[in-house]
Every structure is written in structure tokens, then in C-alpha cells.
Amino acid sequence: MADKKRLGKTDLYVNPIGLGTNAVGGHNIYPNLIEETGKDVVRTAIDNGINFLDTAYIYGPERSEELIGEVIKEKGNRSEIVIATKGAHKFVGGKIVLDNSPAFLREAVENSLKRLQTDYIDLFYIHFPDEGTPKAEAVGALKELKDAGKIKAIGVSNFSIEQLKEANKDGYVDVLQSEYNLFNREVEKEILPYTKDHNISFVPYYPLAAGLLGGRYTKETTFNDGRAKNPLFQGEAFVRNLEKVEQVREIANAKNAEVAHVVLAWYLTRDSVDALIPGAKRPEQVTNNLKTLEIQLTNEEIEKISRIFQE
């Protein structure tokens, strides 16, 4: 099994391949999910050495946390698992609004603790910034919860560089989670240098760009979901993007690996990217994701992949 990586300045050590669980009980994201299959996904992850589980209130809502709590209680190995969850969303008059106020964050943490059936959360993220709450004030509330033993580490998610700097004014931020993939490298400009300089771990989401970087699509593939409106999947752009993926396939074939494994391994060569949280809808996808850890990229291969996707 892979050497564990430390998250930022914390005492949390994780397998570099974690598990994103929006397909575990995330009925509002994926229709027709079978909850027992979702629980099997979590069991398979834990049984195969994955100790970093990423969830959120809004996955379900609430249901993902509940299912993970059930599995961890059943397994009886809470101290070996690093649970990350997120809060910021609430329903007001049937509509979802964002709230980062200290009072709301305290309530969100207490509610997550109940759903997860645990007395502490390893990593709690502010899921999205709201418009009104000063970022350092929101993080300050999490610092109080950390001091009280309710959480062990503080994360923020989807924060711009300006918001991140404000949130980290007192040096309390341990982890940042944001979108990052080979088609969207915006965070490389300012965010990754900042996280490196301030010993903040960066956890990317959307690493395979809705499957485009998984290497399983062809020019003939059609989509009838959200991808149909995604610019990456449209017309000539889609064809050019597939050509880039095929160049990565040459590297993957030489290693007897899949494109997705090579792409995920590339992220782990980036400064401050200490862990990945690819999702899975079926148990076999969990064990397949772990094959990423067998990939060793040379400096030449790392540079080549970077060049392929340089716009």
C-alpha cells in the first residue's frame, strides 16, 4: 500500500487515493442510486486501504454522510479513517442558499457529527463561500470548533485566491479543495503556489473532467446529460480534446495502464496535491482507482503530459 501523505500542517495522514462519495447516497446528483451498492463502495474502499473519505451535507442532501456513518460504525475502525465533510448549504423557503456565518457553521458541524455517528470530524470544509460573511471570521469559527475537539482540521472549498488569502489570514486553513484537471489548470497560476508556500494541501475535484480524461470516449460518443452542454464536449473542441487524450494513451499503453491512471498519477506530481478523491459508483471502480498508485512517471513523461494540455 502507498505511503500515506500528510494533509497540510495537520496530524492527518491519508492514502493519496481517497474516495469521493457524491454517488454514495447522492440522490440529488445521480438518480436511481442503490444505497446498498453505495455502502459496498465505502466498504471496498476501507477494505483496500483507502482511509480518506470525502462527503458533504449537500450529497443527498444528508444521505451520503448517514450511509458513511453506518459503514464506519459497522467496521468499528473509526480511528483509522479520515472523514472529510463540507457544509455551507441550507434550504430557505425551498431554495438552497449559502451561509458561512459562525452560528450556521457550528450548527452544520453538530448536524454532520450526528449523521456520521461520530464525536469528531477529521476535516471540515466550508463548501462554498457566501457573499456576506468575512472569510477569516468563518474560519475563526471553525478554529473554535477545532480547539473544542469537534473537528481536527479546517478546509475551504471553491475559494478564489483572494478569498483563500482572507480565509488564511491567521494561518488556520489546512486544506483547499477546488476544481482542477488537465483541461482546467487555472489554479496553477496563483492558487497552487500559494498553497505550497503556506503548507496547505490541495485536493482537486473533477480530476477526470466528467470522464473525458478517462480515455473511454470516441468521436462517436453522444451525451444526453449535462455533458451535452459542456464546452469540452462540443463540436471541434471535443475532437481536439480526444486527440490530446490519445497522446496520453500512448504513455499509458507503454505502462500497460489505463489513461485515467496516468492522468491521476500526474496530479500527484504537482506541488501541494497530496491526495485525490476520485468517485465510484461500483466497488470495482474503487479497486481500479487504486491502480494509480502503481504508476511511476518519469520527468520526461510529466513534462510531455503538461505540454499536451498547454493551451
> What is the maximum alpha-carbon separation in the chain?
55
* 308 in any annotated domain: no
Would you state the cell numbers that stand for residue 228, as one nine-digit string? Answer: 451535452
Give the domain range for residue 60.
5-211+267-295
φ, ψ of residue 283 to 5 degrees: the values are -55, -40
Q: How far is CA 51 from CA 19, 79, 223, in A?
A: 8, 10, 34
* 222 in any annotated domain: no
Helices then strands, counting H and E runs in the chain, come out as 10, 11
Enzyme catalytic residues: 59
* 216 in any annotated domain: no
φ, ψ of residue 97 to 5 degrees: the values are -130, 160
213, with CB counted inside 10 A (0-12, 13-18, 19+), is buried
CATH code, domain with 12? 3.20.20.100
* 241 in any annotated domain: no
- Look at the chain and report how many structural domains it folds into: 1
pLDDT at position 311 is 64
* 302 in any annotated domain: no
* 254 in any annotated domain: no
* 235 in any annotated domain: no
* 193 in any annotated domain: yes
User: For the chain, where are the alpha helices, taking DSSP H only?
Assistant: 35-47, 63-75, 102-116, 135-147, 161-167, 191-197, 235-254, 259-267, 283-289, 299-308
Per residue of the chain (311 residues), what is the pLDDT tens digit?
579 999 999 999 999 999 999 999 999 999 999 999 999 999 999 999 999 999 999 999 999 999 999 999 999 999 999 999 999 999 999 999 999 999 999 999 999 999 999 999 999 999 999 999 999 999 999 999 999 999 999 999 999 999 999 999 999 999 999 999 999 999 999 999 999 999 999 999 999 999 999 999 999 999 988 899 999 999 999 999 999 999 999 999 999 999 999 999 999 999 999 999 999 999 999 999 999 999 999 999 999 999 999 96
Give the strand pairing for 175-179 and 201-205.
parallel
